Amino acid sequence: MAKKEVTNMIETFSEFKELKNIDRGTMISVLEESFRSVISKMFGTDENYDVIINPDKGDFEIYRNRVVVEDDEVEDLNVEIPVSEAVQIDEDFEVGEEVTEKVDFASFGRRAILNLRQTLASKILDLQKDSIYNKYREKIGTIIVGEVYQVWKKEILLLDDEGNEMLLPKSEQIPTDFYKKGDTIRAVVAKVDNKNNNPKIILSRTSPLFLQRLFELDVPEINDGLITIRRIARIPGERAKVAVESYDERIDPVGACVGMKGARIHGIVRELRNENIDVINYTNNVSLFISRALSPARISSIRLIEEHQRAEVFLKPEEVSLAIGKGGMNIKLASMLTEYKIDVFRDIDDTVDGEDIYLEEFEDEIDPWIIDVLKGIGCDTAKNVLSIPRDELIKRTDLEEETVDELLAILSAEFEGEDVDSRDYEDDEQARIDTPEAADEESEKREE
């Protein structure tokens, strides 16, 4: 019964080998090591044993080699055999010769068999973990599909088609992602850890690489190498900018990526939960690249400060809100894409006479927090504030009417005798706009 139990166990692991893609040589080695481990534990050494494995038949053979010694000189029956026993095997054996005899593993007892089973299971599990780790280490950066098995607060557990576990952390999910058990998810393999021989496969849907792989799948010219994705900037689930380039003048890289009536890019947008994607032409000309990255805004001029990786961009007042975008999103993505810190300035006509005063000069009369509020809507100087009608200023700053009236009185007093028309006046300096709030207000103003 014990022998049959061992044989059936080997057949089971032979089937396991086929399922887990463990090669024949490795399987034989694991089985032999497991037998030797058990023998070594029982007898203190396995050096005098020969283990022969035949996994195809689910069979094995074990042979023990012992040296013939005089009956009264036997010290270890595991490595020595009395001459009286040796001659019973073959009467020609003499002292000093080696006797090889077949051993029935079942005779070692049930405990040895259970020990073998546990050792085999442990080694096979380690082998399986190594196989999973090596498999997915080669898949880092590629898109895979998994089925949702369990949804937790901080991560989602997925299974691949072989039942291997993968994790999609909350931080790697698009904010509007929502999944339930049984759903399928496409994501890119971001990282594979193997701490304590416990492989952990981390997926991502927020990585720029995920967006790049989606383009490679949906745009044949990219997959064929005719179009190259040079840079990607993403705010997952909101907006992304992709810079593409083609070395073939006959190919329009932007048009190829977007497709006829947006057919190609629409599938990517849906996969990314309606993330808006801007595709632009890449260029080595930094000024031109920044200009394209700030699309749809049209810039007037750019001044690069190379040593600080910074760019000062000048635009007409009506283009400022477009350049910054809602919540500062457009300028943030442009900075990420071009790897330049971008400062946006109003390019204002300098034909207006008169001097202006920065708001900091009024700190003795105006509370600093009020000055900060005014700067938040893009007003750095007194005439910036006075150029905004009273009702609009109240609306944009959310200040009390009395506060606004007092503010206007303080600022107006500095320009008594000058013609300051709150509807027509524009600053005679370039007014810097560098806050998302200013962009939103500029956008509202344009809509009105």
Q: What are 283-296's pLDDT values in tens digits?
A: 999 999 999 999 99
Average pLDDT, the chain: 83
The CB-side HSE value for 219 (13 A sphere, CA atoms) comes to: 31
Alpha carbon distance 66, 85 (integer Å):
11
Does pLDDT of 268 surpass 90?
yes
pLDDT at 195: 87
**Higher local confidence (pLDDT), 434 or 156:** 156
Residue 436 lies in a domain: no
Of the ranges 10-19, 189-198, 306-315, which one carries the lowest mean pLDDT score? 10-19
Helix axes of 263-271 and 208-218: crossing angle, nearest 10 degrees? 140
Dihedral, 376, 381, 386, 391 alpha carbons, nearest 10: 10
Residue 302 lies in a domain: no
| Whether residue 6 sits in one domain with residue 101 | yes
Of 231, 255, 282, which residue is a domain's last?
A: 282
Alpha carbon distance 160, 168 (integer Å):
13
pLDDT at 22: 67
| Whether residue 74 sits in one domain with residue 29 | yes
Q: What is the mean pLDDT of residues 79-97?
A: 87
CA 167, 170, 172, 178 dihedral sign is: positive
Of 135, 161, 177, which residue is a domain's last?
A: 135
| Whether residue 165 sits in one domain with residue 104 | no
Q: CATH number of the domain that 266 lies in?
A: 3.30.300.20
Residue 322 lies in a domain: no
pLDDT at 271: 94
Alpha carbon distance 63, 201 (integer Å):
43
| Whether residue 63 sits in one domain with residue 8 | yes
Alpha carbon distance 99, 89 (integer Å):
9
| Whether residue 214 sits in one domain with residue 153 | no
Of the ranges 24-33, 91-100, 382-391, which one carries the lowest mean pLDDT score? 24-33
Q: CATH number of the domain that 39 lies in?
A: 3.30.1480
What's at 239, amino acid-wise? Answer: R
pTM, 2 dp: 0.65
Q: CATH number of the domain that 189 lies in?
A: 2.40.50.140
Residue 439 lies in a domain: no
| Whether residue 152 sits in one domain with residue 131 | no
Residues of the domain holding 73: 2-135
Residue 221 lies in a domain: yes
Distance separating the N- and C-terminal Cα atoms of the chain: 90
126 pLDDT band, cuts 50/70/90, is: confident
Domains in the chain, number:
4
| Whether residue 153 sits in one domain with residue 262 | no
| Whether residue 234 sits in one domain with residue 174 | no
Q: What is the mean pLDDT of residues 422-432?
A: 37
Residue 347 lies in a domain: no
Of 282, 311, 342, which residue is a domain's last?
A: 282
pLDDT at 116: 80
CA 103, 107, 111, 117 dihedral sign is: positive
pLDDT at 58: 65
Is residue 321 within 8 Å of residue 403, measured between CB atoms?
A: no
pLDDT at 375: 75
Does pLDDT of 10 surpass 60?
no
pLDDT at 137: 93
Does pLDDT of 6 surpass 60?
no
Q: Which residues are CB-neighbours of 108 under 8 A, at least 6 positions away?
A: 38, 42
